[in-house]
Amino acid sequence: MAALPRDATVAVFGAGAMGAGIAQVAAQAGHRVLVFDARINAADDAKRRVGEALAALAAKGKLATADATAAAARVEAIHTPGDAASAQLVIEAIVEDLEAKRELFRQVENVTSPDTILATNTSSISITAIGAELKRPSRVAGMHFFNPAPLMPLVEIVRGLATDPEVEATLHATALAWGKSAVRAQSTPGFIVNRCARPYYAEALRLLAERAADPATLDALMREAGGFRMGPFELMDMIGHDVNFAVTKGVWEAFFHDPRFTPSVHQQELVNAGFLGRKSGRGFYDYAPGAAKPVPATEGPQAAPPHVVVHGDLGPAAALVDRMVARGVLLERRDAHDAFAGGAIAVGGTWLALTDGRTATARAVAAGVGDLVLFDLALDYGTATRVAVARADACGDAALATAVGALQTAGLAVSRVDDVAGLPVMRTVAMLANEAADAVQQGIASPADVDAAMRLGVGYPRGPLAWADAIGLARVRDVLANLALHYGEPRYRIAPRIARRACGGGRLAD
C-alpha cells in the first residue's frame, strides 16, 4: 500500500506540544498542514512554534534554509473544524479522554470526505472504542507518535477491530515516508510500548517498597549494569508521576485489575502530595536549586583475591571472570557443583552465583552453604561498571568482603541491596520479556515490532525478547518461577510463549 501522496492535506487537531510536533513532521515531509485547536489563539501559536523550530534546525545546519522556510509556509492555522474539509488525513492529538476524542471525530466526520483517514495519537485508549460510534469506524486507526514527535523515531500504527486493513497499511507507509520507524499493533491497553514497559516501573517501585535499596542506588544499577539510559525513578520523575500513574492505572483497569499491572501506593502518594517530579520541583528526587544530588550506595574497597575457582558454565556472566583474569587473578575451572547447576564462583570458602530469582538466603539453605553472595544480571559483563549483590542471612562480613573484592577486581563498583528475590536488573528484564512474550502470544504485534518499539520508543538497550534469548530462556523461566513461588502471586506467572520455548527450544525473537 502506498503512502499518502505528498500533495495530500493533513489536518492536526490539538495544538499542544505533541500536535505542533506532528504538524512539523508532516510539513517537513512536504504536506500542507492545517492546525486546529478549540483554545483561542492556540493554533496560531502552534504555527509560530513550528516556524521557530524549523528555523532553529536551519541555523544549526540540520535543514536547508529554503526547506525550512517552505515547510513553515505549509503550516496553516484554522479556526473551525469545517476548515479541515479538504484533509485526506486527520490526526487527533487532544486530551486523553475517550468521550472528547469521540466527539471530535463526530464533528470531523461530518465535514470531511468519506475516504478521509481519522488517526488518533492516543497512547492507550482503545481504537475500537474511539471509532465504535462513528459512521465509518473502518476509517479510524491509531497513529501514536512519541514526544517530541520531530525527534523520536517511533510511531505505533494501531488497528481497532473495525479498522480497514488498507487504512492501517496507508498509515504505516506514510509514517515510513515521513522518516519514522513504524510498528504495527492491535488495539490493546497500552498498545506495545505503554503495555510492555510497565514492569520497568513496577519492579522498581516494589523493590523500593521492600526497602531493597534507595532510588539513587536502584537507578544507578539499571543504568550502569542494565544499560538503560535512565533509571526508573529518574525516568518517572521526568515523565511526571501524575502521567505515569494514570497510564499504569488505566492499563490495570483495562485489563480487569490483572495483578501484573497493579499500580503503586507509593506513587499514588506522590501524586496526592503534588510531588510530580521535575515539573513540580520534587518527586523521588529534589530538584530545588542547590539540592544535593543523591549518590548510589557503593561498597568500600576490599582486597583482591589471588585466585578463583569457576564451577560449571556461568552462562551470560562468563565475561565477568574474563575481566578478573585480565587483571591478574588466577583461574581454576572445575565441573559444575551439585548445589549450583547454573554455575558458580568459589573464592576461598565464599560462593558467588548469578541470581536465579530466589533470595540468597533461600538459595543458601537449598545448597547447604552459609557464605553465599548472589550477583545481579548485567547487559554486558564485559563493559558494565556496576553490579548489585545480596548476601544470605548466614553469610558473614568477611565472606561478603571477599565476594565484593572479587567483583571489584573485575573493575566493577558494587552496590549491596537487601536480600530480595531476583535482584533488580534480572527480575526487571525477566518481567519485561514476560510481558513482551505475552503480547506476541496474543497477536498484539510481531516479535520484531515489539523489540523495535521498546528500543526506539523508550530507549531500551536491547529488545526484551532478544535479551531473554541472550540470557537463556530456561534461565528466564526459572527466575519467573522462583519469583512466583517467593511472592505467591499471579503477577509473576510465566507467559506461555516462554514456558513452551524454554522446554522445546526456539527463540522468543523469532
First to last CA, the chain: 25
pTM > 0.85: yes or no: yes
Confidence of residue 342 (pLDDT cuts 50, 70, 90): confident
Q: Are 124 and 160 in contact (CB under 8 A)?
A: no
Which residue in 109, 121, 124, 144 is the catalytic one? 144
> Burial of 291 by CB count in 10 Å (0-12 exposed, 13-18 middle, 19+ buried)?
exposed
Level-2 CATH architecture, domain 307-416? 2-Layer Sandwich (3.30)
Quick: pLDDT tens for 117-163. Answer: 999 999 989 999 999 999 999 999 999 999 999 999 999 999 999 99
Contacts of 503 (CB under 8 A, 6+ apart): none
Q: Is 257 a catalytic residue?
A: no
- Indicate whether 1 pLDDT > 80: no
What does R_g of the chain's alpha carbons equal in angstroms? 26
CA atoms of 264 and 244, how far apart (whole Å): 11
Q: What is the pLDDT of residues 85-118, one digit of tens each?
A: 999 999 999 999 999 999 999 999 999 999 999 9
Q: Is residue 96 annotated as part of the catalytic site, yes or no?
A: no
User: What is residue 341's predicted lDDT score, i.e. its pLDDT?
Assistant: 84
One fold for 194-280 and 307-416: no
The answer to whether 264 is a known catalytic residue is no
Neighbours of 293 (CB within 10 A): 7
- The residues spanned by each domain of the chain are 9-187, 194-280, 307-416
Average pLDDT over residues 32-46: 96
Which pLDDT belongs to residue 410? 96
CATH architecture of 194-280: Orthogonal Bundle (1.10)
Average pLDDT, the chain: 96
- % of the chain with per-residue pLDDT over 70: 100
Instruction: Tell me: pLDDT of 506 over 90.
Output: no
Mean pLDDT calculated for residue range 408-427: 98
Q: Please tell me which residue in 121, 124, 194, 415 is annotated as part of the active site.
A: 194
| Mean of pLDDT values over 489-497 | 97
- Of all residues in the chain, what percent carry a pLDDT higher than 90? 98
Q: Could you tell me the pLDDT band of residue 170, with boundaries at 50, 70 and 90?
A: very high
Contact yes or no for 310/354 (Cβ under 8 A) = no
pLDDT for res 325:
94
| C-alpha grid cell, residue 225 | 549494569
Residue 339: pLDDT band by 50, 70, 90 thresholds?
confident
The single-letter DSSP state of residue 391 is E
pLDDT for 68 equals 97
Assigned CATH topology for domain 9-187? Rossmann fold (3.40.50)
Is 144 among the catalytic positions? Answer: yes
Pick the catalytic residue: 121, 123, 126, 187? 123
Catalytic residue among 76, 156, 203, 234: 156
